[in-house]
Amino acid sequence: MDMNERKVRILEAIIRDYIQTGDPVGSRTISKKYDLGISSATIRNEMADLEDLGFIMQPHTSAGRIPSDKGYRLYVDTLMERKHVNPDVERIITEMIKQKINRIDMLVEETAKLIAMLTNYATIASAAPIAQTTIKHLQLVPIDDKSVACVIVTDTNIVKNHIIRTPKELNFHLCMQLTNILNECLKGTTLTEISLHKIRISIEEKLKDYSDIAASVLEVIYDTLRQEDIPNISIRGVNNILDLQEFSDREKIRDIFKLFEEKLHLVKLLDHNPKNKTTIRIGQENIYTPMKDCSIITTSYTIGGYTLGNIGIIGPTRMDYGQVVSVLEYVTNHITNMLNEFDDS
């Protein structure tokens, strides 16, 4: 049985109508609302063929038809049209990114919140693990006679602060001297590549009288590495799912919420995205059982060719794919462009 142009047009009409209304679609609806130039009887016959081919299904006896995962897959791969992002929405997105561009961790949080608001779906955003980044700058700042703050800044502008207790008094001038030496040894070093023994030797040669400070700085770097080995994840708009008719089953929604509570699960939901490409996983294509009635759309944002993180939108399989993809790609492309401009400057 061939999937001819007429069947494709009818399938597209069914999907568009079902996305808009959430109601099973019958042949009379297609005949009245869509100018296909064929009778209701012909539409019925073609719908029967589409059902046999697995592109649509009948949820209840005597009801109309709804798209299957296979039908949605054909739609997003060959029929979906990206929609123009509203100029007012463009301005909101641009302003948010400008305000947060110098702090990736804050940018991730605000991006998830904004996309959830714009799409009315759940949104997950991640920043790359700090273990994959390099040290951009270290700063020692005296707090009192026996303690200093060690500030670690990465090349992705993530900032981590640690308090170090010191047996010797360190004034501002001495902290500046130590800061300069530590940056000579550590700037541009990848956290995962730091060899404790090698770095100790290099620093101890330059800081003979302050080896305890050197050891403490290295310790907090490794503490940072252990704490941030999992990407920074923000999830927003989870409650949006409660308003969707597909998730009126309390047990189903409970399982989804339980999945969202585990950070490693969220990482895996975003982890199957090829670099610089939008990925759409529909229903049964998702790895977790609670996600079998959902679609997940993910893409990444980069700086200098390096992937900083991913953003994913979670909603029902009956989502407006064209609109969601347009918003997601606009945001991530904008972030990538502005990050690279920021990095160049």
In the block, tokens 């800081």 appear at 207
- Please give the structure tokens belonging to residue 132: 């994959």
Cα distance from N-terminal residue to C-terminal residue, the chain: 59
Please tell me what DSSP assigns to residue 240: G
Where does the pLDDT of residue 194 fall: very low under 50, low under 70, confident under 90, or very high at 90 and above?
low
- Total structural domains in the chain? 3
Q: What is the pLDDT of residues 87-105, one digit of tens each?
A: 998 898 888 888 877 677 7
Rounded distance between C-alpha atoms, residue 55 and residue 65, angstroms: 10
CB 178 within 8 A of CB 207: yes
Beta pairing, strands 294-303 & 306-316 = antiparallel
168 & 299 share domain: no
Q: What is the pLDDT of residues 35-48, one digit of tens each?
A: 888 888 999 999 99
Which of 210, 227, 244 represents a domain boundary (last residue)? 227
Residues 64 and 99 grouped into a single domain:
no
H-helix segments, the chain = 5-21, 27-33, 40-52, 69-74, 87-100, 104-119, 172-186, 196-206, 211-227, 250-260, 263-270, 321-344
d(CA 128, CA 27): 49
Using the 8-state DSSP alphabet, how is residue 230 labeled? Answer: S
Please say which residue of 227, 252, 274 terminates a domain.
227
Indicate whether 305 and 277 sit together in one domain.
yes
**Residue 275 and residue 321: Cα distance in Å, rounded?**
20
On the question of pLDDT at 217 being above 90, the answer is: no
CATH of the domain at 215: 3.30.390.60
Q: For residue 284, give both structure tokens.
A: 């049964």
- Residue 304's region, left for phi above 0, alpha for psi from -120 to 50, else beta, is left
Given this model, what pLDDT does residue 128 score? 66
The answer on pLDDT for 227 being more than 60 is: no
Above 80 in pLDDT, residue 335? yes
Burial of 80 (0-12, 13-18, 19+ CB in 10 A): middle
DSSP conformation letters of 252-309: HHHHHHHHHT-HHHHHHHHTT--TT--EEEEGGGSSSGGGTTEEEEEEEEEETTEEEE
Determine the average pLDDT of the residues in 213-236. 72
336 and 258 in a single domain? The answer is yes
Give residue 140's domain range: 131-227
Within 8 A by CB and 6+ apart from 20, the residues are none
Alpha helices (H) along 64-171: 69-74, 87-100, 104-119
Q: Model's pTM, two decimal places?
A: 0.73
Domain end, chosen from 171, 200, 227, is at: 227
